[in-house]
Amino acid sequence: MVASGLTSMPELFFTNTLFGGDDNMNKKTNTNEEEAVSPVIATILMVAITVVLAGVLYVWASSLAEGNTDGSLTFYQFDAEGDVGAVTTGTSDDLVRVTMTQGAEINWASLNVQISIDNGAPVTCDNPGLDGGDCVLVEFGDTTDSVWSIGDGVTVRESGQDLCSSVCTAEITITDVREGSVIDRSSAAIQGGAESGSSSGSD
């Protein structure tokens, strides 16, 4: 006989086992839920990183295509060389010959050509047919149109200003003013000559 109000040992064991089992089940359930949440968080992070990378690549690609309304990119290449004649202390020497070797034809109205002597301040040259600046561009090749195309070139000539009278290094910068971008930058060595006021140009 078990006194009234007292729980027998078998009943106590059964009760502890029953409720203790519930606690174990709850712990296992919580552990499973936590393990299930971790892959979900990882997936969300991967998706977020992918979206960010896609945005960065889109901005980069857009910057490359900016200004090319026809959907194409044009690459230019020019060859610059010191003119054959030796420069003098005159103010009408031919300094550099620049020839387009690669690229699509481009209208002169869209171009700006500058020359810098020995890393000095750049001087803007007048395009073919214009004058008034310290240097002028004289066309050779096909001079019947108003575009610069492959095989055509210009001679950079002094115009009332002695830009180089001895051995000099000239840097030519060609800018597409429509796009606001430099399409070529070339350097050429210029040979000095006798102190004379005559021009060495033949164009």
pLDDT for the residue 134 = 93
DSSP string across the chain: ---TT---HHHHHHHHHHHHHHHHHHHHHHHHHHHHHHHHHHHHHHHHHHHHHHHHHHHHHHHHHTT-TTS-----EEEEEE-SSPB-SSSS-EEEEEEEEES--EEGGGEEEEEEETT---EEEBPTT---SSEEEEEES--SSSEE-TT-EEEEEE-SS---SSSEEEEEEEEETTTTEEEEEEEEEE-B--S-SS-----
pTM, two decimals, is 0.59
The fold of 77-190 is Immunoglobulin-like (2.60.40)
Average pLDDT over residues 37-44: 81
More confident residue, 13 or 31: 31
Give the pLDDT of residue 121: 95
**Where is pLDDT greater, at 192 or 66?**
192
In the prediction, which pLDDT does 199 show?
A: 32
Q: Is the pLDDT of residue 14 over 70?
A: no
Q: What number is the average pLDDT over the span 61-83?
A: 69
The 10s digit of each residue's pLDDT in 173-183 is 999 999 899 99
First to last CA, the chain: 133
Sorted by where each begins, the domain ranges of the chain are 8-66, 77-190
**Closest Cα to residue 73, out of 99, 100, 104, 112?**
104
pLDDT tens for 77-123 read: 999 998 767 788 999 999 999 999 999 999 999 999 999 999 999 99
Give the Cα-Cα-Cα angle 108, 112, 117 (nearest 5 degrees): 135
